[in-house]
Structure formats: structure tokens, C-alpha cells
Amino acid sequence: MAEEHPFAPRLEHAFTISIELSAPYWVTPSVRGETRAAIYAKSGTVEGPRLTGKVIPMSGGDFPLSRESGVIDFDARYLIEASDGAIIYLENRGYRWARDEGISEKLRNNQAVSFDDYYMRVTPKFDAPAGPHEWMSKHVFVGVAEKIPGANRIHYFVVL
């Protein structure tokens, strides 16, 4: 059995964001030959041991670039309102790709697929106000996302 590296990061689940998404708007094909979309955050909830609240409706969204290879390059930005009323800005970058073309087709058609059939990870940054949520602006996070029809559910882990 391999020994764990002494600098291997430890992760702690901080919260999960469930986002209901709008219908997409498409720029296809873009001048780059790829497809760009705009998908807005209609609503959402934030639940977890370190943060609870909601996604502020229509405060932003995702502007993903779909590569010819099938890789989706995420660029999402929106606002969260913590349960204490604090407003927190979220910027997510990441990737989604399917393990085979049949799964890619289901994802494109907004159909349910098994979590094991695709890779969907994000690296968020938060701009939080001073006070009880400023820890979010001082830590690195990793998000593991689930694609569900009409929505995304992202489980955020703080790197300790």
C-alpha cells in the first residue's frame, strides 16, 4: 500500500449549492468555432455545516464554452445570500466531460445520467464581506458537481 504524501491536502465538506438553471441562450458557432452559452441561475439553496442560505435569483449565471472534443469549460458567476443576510460573490471555473459519446448526448439533452459517467469539477473563489464569512475569501475550495435535469448540485470542500 502506498504511503500518503505528507503534504497531501485534507478536504472538509463546507456546503452544497443546488441551482435551478434557466433555459440556455446559444452563440453557435462562435467565431472561435466553438459553442458559447449563457445559462442563468434562476434560484437555489445553500446547505451545509459551514454555510446556509440561497442563490440570489438571476444575479448571474454560467457562460460555458463547449469544445469540439465535448469538454465544457465553465465560467460561472453569481451571488449567494447567507442566512444572516450577508451577500457573497461566487466565481466558478471548471470542466465537465462525459466518459463516452452516448453519455455526452444525454447530457446535451438534459437527461439524467449516473454520476460515475462524467467528470464535473470546479474551483471556486469567493468574495465575502468581513465578519463571519471572510474565511471563504482566505481558503481554496474544490467543488464536485452533479448534473441533474434543469439544475446543478455542487458539493464544495474547503482545502485545509
For the chain, list the domains and their CATH numbers.
Answer: 11-159 (2.40.160.20)
- The pLDDT score that the predictor gives to residue 114 is 78
Q: What is each CA distance from 105 to 71, 116, 149, in whole angstroms? A: 12, 15, 13
Q: Look at residue 117 in the predicted model and tell me its pLDDT.
A: 84
Pairing mode, if any, of strands 87-98 and 118-127?
antiparallel
User: What pLDDT is recorded for position 157?
Assistant: 98
In the numeric block, which cell numbers belong to residue 38? 449563457
Written as tens digits, the pLDDT of the chain (160 aa) is 678 899 999 999 999 999 999 988 988 877 777 888 999 999 999 999 999 999 999 999 999 998 888 899 999 999 999 999 999 999 999 998 887 777 777 777 777 777 788 899 999 999 999 999 999 999 999 999 998 877 889 999 999 9
pLDDT computed for residue 11 by the predictor: 97
The answer to whether the peptide bond before residue 29 is cis (omega within 30 degrees of 0) is yes
Please report the pLDDT score of residue 69 as a whole number. 84
Report residue 130 CA to chain centroid gap. 24
DSSP-assigned states of every residue in 116-160: GGEEEEEEEEEE--SSTTGGGGGS-EEEEEEEETTEEEEEEEEE-
Helices (H), the chain: 101-108
